[in-house]
Amino acid sequence: MTAITDRQKLQYMAAKAADARVNVELETEGMILNMGPQHPATHGTLRIVARLDGEQVISAEPIAGYMHRGYEKLSEVRSFPQVTTLINRIDWLGSFANEVPFILACEQLMEIEAPPRAQWIRTLLFEMSRVANLILFLGDMGVQLGAVTPAFYAFRDREFVLDQIEAVTGGRFHPNFDRIGGLLDDLPKGWLAETKQVMVKVRRFCDEIDDLLMGAETFESRMRGIGVIPPDVAMQYGLSGPNARGSGIDWDNRRDNCFGLVYPELDWKVWTHPDGDSYARFWVRLQEVREATKMIDQLCDGLPGGPIMAKVPRIIKVPTGEAYVATENPLGEMGYYVISKGGLNPFRVKIRSASFNNVSITPWLLRGVYVPDIITILGSLYFILGDIDR
């Protein structure tokens, strides 16, 4: 688990100290650079106010909130099934994955369990949204570093995945397909075979990215050693998902804290990378897409029969209680702390979204880097604005 060696830590500290020395010797008047809220690199409306000395960042402060939609408040006046419509829009690139933890939390409170087939299809769609989400990251990282072409490949192949999601749910971006106790509908005919073909395409895309980006010396020189997060710091800030695993933390909610999904029955592996830099985070995500395609193949093969909906009352009233259920979403740990008072709507929903924690580390991480590295680091932390602001 202590993946960053002491030597790496020392190197990192030495580099920071050297930078600090340069700052003292060549003291000049700082400049405040305001990036965003409209800026090509912030995928949305994150604003970063950076104090610069030349090209070096003295301090940087991310300012979120340009997209705050108040889902926690809105959830309190909606009935339980209606909440999924809202939370779909949190991480809009992998929206089905947003619904699952909330539904699971409700099911935990109601003490019901979805039938096996529903659990398998849930897991299947969950992994599909992971692929749809992370493919875009893989392409987008190139754009952040100035290589436009991978992004087009990403959009091309993501379309196949979205088509498959649309074929089941009817929605490309906002499926709203998960229900308390099961799923809205079954899979369409011939879908499984098509999906396996799409996964072949996705794997080919991963190989392309491997060649096009990972193989480029430029890419490595921009990513290696940039934005190093030691595992201890990562945990303090609550970094989760590929960001934590990129720092060598061997932790995956799918394996360690799996509730209501069928991951224990699949043959797969949690990838970690010891370096903790931007390259490690990119590498982990690339492996995760590959792993997800393998999982989807297994899920397609092993899909059991049976109903897709448990016995659920027509009017859903969730018994009094509290539950926190977190799943390993494409961006990291996404959890819902649901408090019910036995009524039709939740008493309080606390949405613990991955990007909020992942981005909160940026003031620590951006100290002393160069302006181009801001982009690399933000890109490799990978956030969705809806996931920060909720």
Partner 1 sequence: MIHTVLGLELAYWQETTLRVLGGLVMLLLLTGGVVYLYLFKFVSFMQSRLGPMEAGPYGSLQLLAEVGKWLQKEDIFPEDADRKIFALAPAIVLASTFLMFIVIPAGPNAVVSDLGTGIYFVLAMSSLSVIGILMAGWASANKYALIGALRAGGQLIAYELPLVLATIGVVVAAGSLNLQDIVAAQANGEIFGIDWIGNPFVITQFVAFMIFVISVQAELTQTPFDMPIAESELVAGYHVEYTGIRFLIYFIAEFATAVAFAAVASTLFLGGWALPAAWGLGTGVMHVVGPIVISTKAVLLVGVVFWVRFTLPRYREDQLQRFAWKFLIPLALANIVVTAIAKVVF
Partner 2 sequence: MSDETTTPEEAAPQEVEVEVAAPRDERLEALLERFTHHLGDSIVDSHIVVGKDLWIRVATDAWRAAAEVARNDLHARYFGFLSGIDWMESPYGRSMDSEVDRILSGEDRPGPGPIEQGYAGGETRFQVFARVAHIGEPNATWGVTLKADVPDDPFEVESWTSVFAGADWHERECHEMFGIGFVGHPGLRHMYLPSDFEGYPLRKDFPLVARQVKPWPGIVDVEAMPEVPAPGAPGAPDGATGATTEPADGGDA
Residues of the shown chain interacting with partner 1 in the complex, contacts defined by CB under 8 A: 31, 33-34, 39-41, 55, 142-149, 152-153, 156, 212-213, 216, 218-219, 221-222, 370-375
350-368: burial string, b at 16+ Cβ within 10 Å, e else: ebbbbbbbbbebbeebbeb
Who's near 243: CB < 8 A, 6+ residues apart?
229, 234, 281, 332, 358, 381, 382
Looking at the Cβ atoms of 195 and 357, the one nearer to partner 2 is: 357
Which of the listed partners (partner 1, partner 2, none) does 59 bind, with a CB threshold of 5 to 8 Å by partner kind? none
Which of the listed partners (partner 2, partner 1, none) does 222 bind, with a CB threshold of 5 to 8 Å by partner kind? partner 1
Least separation, in Å, of the C-beta of 23 and partner 1? 15
In this structure, what are the phi and psi dihedrals at residue 349, rounded to the nearest 5 degrees?
Answer: -120, 115
Distances (CA, A) of 351 to 323, 326, 354: 12, 10, 10
Least separation, in Å, of the C-beta of 221 and partner 1? 6
Which of the listed partners (partner 2, partner 1, none) does 324 bind, with a CB threshold of 5 to 8 Å by partner kind? partner 2
Which of the listed partners (partner 2, partner 1, none) does 40 bind, with a CB threshold of 5 to 8 Å by partner kind? partner 1
Looking at the Cβ atoms of 24 and 77, the one nearer to partner 2 is: 77
Least separation, in Å, of the C-beta of 149 and partner 1? 5
Which of the listed partners (partner 2, partner 1, none) does 219 bind, with a CB threshold of 5 to 8 Å by partner kind? partner 1
Looking at the Cβ atoms of 41 and 192, the one nearer to partner 1 is: 41
Least separation, in Å, of the C-beta of 376 and partner 2? 22
Least separation, in Å, of the C-beta of 276 and partner 1? 19
Looking at the Cβ atoms of 181 and 225, the one nearer to partner 2 is: 181
Given a contact cutoff of 8 angstroms between Cβ atoms, the answer to whether 161 and 197 are in contact is: no
* Distance in Å from the first CA to the final CA of the chain: 32
List Cβ<8 Å contacts ≥24 apart for 166-175. Answer: 167/191, 167/194, 168/121, 168/125, 169/96, 169/125, 171/95, 173/92, 173/95, 174/85, 174/88, 174/89, 174/92, 174/95, 175/88, 175/95, 175/96, 175/99, 175/125
Looking at the Cβ atoms of 16 and 203, the one nearer to partner 2 is: 16
Given a contact cutoff of 8 angstroms between Cβ atoms, the answer to whether 67 and 386 are in contact is: yes
Looking at the Cβ atoms of 219 and 336, the one nearer to partner 2 is: 336
Looking at the Cβ atoms of 218 and 320, the one nearer to partner 2 is: 320
CA 234 to chain centre: 15
Least separation, in Å, of the C-beta of 219 and partner 1? 5
Rounded Cα–Cα distance for residues 159 and 161 (Å): 5
Which of the listed partners (partner 1, partner 2, none) does 221 bind, with a CB threshold of 5 to 8 Å by partner kind? partner 1
* Helix boundaries (H) for 68-223: 71-75, 80-87, 95-110, 116-144, 149-169, 191-209, 217-223
Closest C-alpha to 94, from 187, 24, 201, 173: 173
Least separation, in Å, of the C-beta of 259 and partner 1? 39
Least separation, in Å, of the C-beta of 163 and partner 2? 22
Which of the listed partners (partner 2, partner 1, none) does 123 bind, with a CB threshold of 5 to 8 Å by partner kind? none
Looking at the Cβ atoms of 148 and 315, the one nearer to partner 2 is: 315
One-letter identity of residue 69: R
Which of the listed partners (partner 1, partner 2, none) does 250 bind, with a CB threshold of 5 to 8 Å by partner kind? partner 2
